[in-house]
Amino acid sequence: MEKGKGIFIFSILGVLCAGIILYFSLFFYRNYRQELVAVEQNQLLVMARTVGQSLVNYLNQELEVMDLYFSEPGLGNSADDQDIRKAAAAFMDKKDGLYDGMACYDSRGSRIFEAGILDFDYREAPDSQEAVICGKKLSPKGWYQMFISRKFEWNKEPCTVVCAMNLNRIYQQIVAPVQIGKGGYSIVKDRDLVILMHHASSQIGIDAAYDRNVRYPQLDLQDLFEWVTMQQNQKEGCSIIHSYVWDDPELPPERRIVAYTTIHVSGEDWIVNSTLPYEELNEPLSRMIRRLLGMSALFLFFLVVFVYFMTRLLMREEAQKREIAYLKEINQGMELLRRKEEEIQRYERMQSIGQMSSHIAHEFNNYLTPVMIYGELLEGDNDISPQNQELIHGIVRSVEEAAALSRRLLDFSRQDSYGERICQDLRREAAEACQVVDRMAPENVSMVTDISGDPLWTQGNKGMMSHLLLNLSNNAFHAMEGRGGVLTVRLFRMEKKDVGEDSRKVFLDGISEKVQKDLAEQIPNDGWGDLSQDFTEDCQGEWAVLTVTDTGRGISREALDKIFEPFYTTKRSGKGTGLGLSVVRNVMEAAKGRIRITSRAGVGTSFILSFPLTEPSDPEDRGQERQGFRRLVVVDDDPKVLKALDAMLRGVSVKAECCSHPAAALALLQKRRNDYDMVLTDYQMPSVNGLELAAMVRRLNPQIRLVLMSGRDDSQFDWYLKNGMIDDFIPKTELYGRLREMVGRNEL
């Protein structure tokens, strides 16, 4: 009885244990299957991302290679179409079958060169100086061709190169080598769900769902439609779907684990899809259940726990790796953002410095104007003793030097142009400027000039040559301070018939020979360095070349990269403003010229300035001759300027009404609008500026003459002069001379 009871209990316990083991076996089996599927989905998603990133990197690299290849200077400078044919053929050979075809088009759409298979409409090529993806098309051989185009310059003519990239070749190189189990693979679709890359060639070029539904109406594609709908709405995801073996003519059904991600390449959105047959998971699952059934519950329990924790650990480690990579990308992006912010801040600082310089010069001129007017009035007073006249003359000269400094500040604040460009003879301008430089030269510096010959006409702002020679000679005198030396100024014509690399070298060597000859005469036993810096490429045509060579200390390698920066100077404190070479560079940019520097420490420096030559023309007329005036209204909010102008005008018997506010001037002109024939107004005033006041006065009296004065530069008022909104502009530092000039010609 006890034995039977024991057997019964043992049987019950055995059945219970077997049930528990079976229950836990099934429980762990089901959980393990779910976790295994989830892990596999994550792995497939990681593989899809990896394949997608590899595609992005590869295609971006090919775009960059194409950019670099077709931006070579030698290709653009070649005049022989055989060169571009050879270059294009060499480009295709290097890619070893990556491109099915290539064609080069000129600006009229004619093909200069064609190789391989390329069916592309030239008009679809975007106008881009960088390599971009401009479309794709299914080739007759059954794979897609992706078209890449780029604009480039050949023989001074814009051209377009178009390459047909073989996407099947990319699939074999990038996508196919990524092994996913035994029956897994990856495919690539575009945003319209058209298959671009697939191991089954019959599937390339069809819609992943709709075209298959038409082609295989007997198949149940409900899961596939839900899957592609998910791909259209989400950037990436995973799922399990019922699909078919597309490379088998019988199209047997199969269940598959799938994952996808979306990538972006040069305006193209692609979907990278990685898939694995669900049946490949049955083998590890069956092996596990056999082990569970063949072992004790305790062993099974510990095994499941171990597998569970190991799986969690691996997943966590993988997640940490992804997180580290993500943080690294964030740090790189933040570093790039920081550099861009520094560039923006640097640009804003330069803008602020320019605005500050313009404002300082304007206020400075307001203070200088009455001093200059009073000084020049006193200079013309014959009742003052000669001794005091000399003192007054010194005051006027100092004020003129201060005005020159103000003009240099204004020159720096103008970063784009220097007012109205006129046609001028560089030889005459250089000869006049050299006379001034010669008088400025220290006693221990001798000056050699060679500027004789025919006129050299170019377009530039008035006084351009004086700006250049005064600034460059001032730096040369500083470099030769204490040691003496020779300053050589040459001006000659240089013709360049070709823009190729060889001719460019000959052109520069031709100039360097003249520079070397100057230094050989001045320093017979010393050599000449090759430290140089170019700021622009040389162009075809006739040029005037100005060389300014000194035998001073030279420019160090460290300073050479900074000498054109505003306020950078190697002079001692108080000896220089650091604006001279910045002004030189701005003047040359405004004249569309070029700068080359050759220097060696301890030997000397040569600045080589090139100016494009033009045909001579008559000086450009402002459109209206300066007319005299008998009665005028003067408007300025600065009482010191008004007082000085009133004194000057009374001295020449001119009737003038001085107003310190625009409203007062308007009230006066409304009452007596025909009593005055000229209004002289300052630009910067309260309430309204001088241009706005001029517009109001013009409506009151269309015949009245409007003259604007300002401490700022005149370039910003050229448009108003040309369009008749004002009749003339007078800088405040030239008020006395301009008004006295009118009086001297009996124009009052």
The model's pTM: 0.39
Residue in 89, 48, 445 with CA at minimum distance from that of residue 236: 48
What local confidence, expressed as pLDDT, does residue 259 receive? 94
Locate 631 and state its tokens: 């009665």
What local confidence, expressed as pLDDT, does residue 501 receive? 41
What is the C-alpha to C-alpha distance for residues 467 and 465, in angstroms, rounded to an integer? 5
pLDDT means over runs of 10, the chain (748 residues): 46 59 72 82 90 91 84 59 72 79 83 80 82 87 88 80 89 89 89 89 88 89 91 91 89 91 87 89 71 64 72 85 89 84 67 66 69 71 74 75 65 50 85 84 88 84 79 85 88 66 42 48 37 44 90 79 66 57 78 86 88 72 49 87 81 81 88 84 86 89 87 72 84 76 53
What local confidence, expressed as pLDDT, does residue 499 receive? 38
Cα-Cα-Cα-Cα dihedral of 92, 97, 100, 103, to 10°? 0
What local confidence, expressed as pLDDT, does residue 510 receive? 46
Task: Name residues whose C-beta falls within 8 Å of residue 167's C-beta, 6 or more positions apart in sequence.
Answer: 136, 143, 144, 145, 146, 188, 196, 197
What local confidence, expressed as pLDDT, does residue 313 receive? 85
Q: Distance from CA of residue 147 to its chain's centroid?
A: 27
Side chain identity at residue 726, one-letter code: I
To the nearest 10 degrees (0 to 180), the angle between helices 297-379 and 386-413 is 150
What local confidence, expressed as pLDDT, does residue 626 receive? 47
What DSSP assignment string belongs to 88-145?
Answer: HHHHHHHTTTSEEEEEEE-TTS-EEEEEE-----GGGS---SS-EEEEEEE-TTSSEE
Find tokens 């295709």 and name the residue. Answer: 92
CB-CB contact of 198 with 204 (8 Å): yes
Q: Cα–Cα distances in Å, from 257 out to 102, 107, 114, 650?
A: 40, 51, 45, 99
Side chain identity at residue 123, one-letter code: R
Residue 18, classed as helix, strand or coil, is helix
CB-CB contact of 44 with 259 (8 Å): yes
Strands 485-496 and 655-659: unpaired
Go through the domains of the chain in sequence order and give each one's CATH number. Answer: 27-294 (3.30.450.20), 421-612 (3.30.565.10), 631-744 (3.40.50.2300)
What local confidence, expressed as pLDDT, does residue 524 receive? 36
- Paired strand residues for 231: none
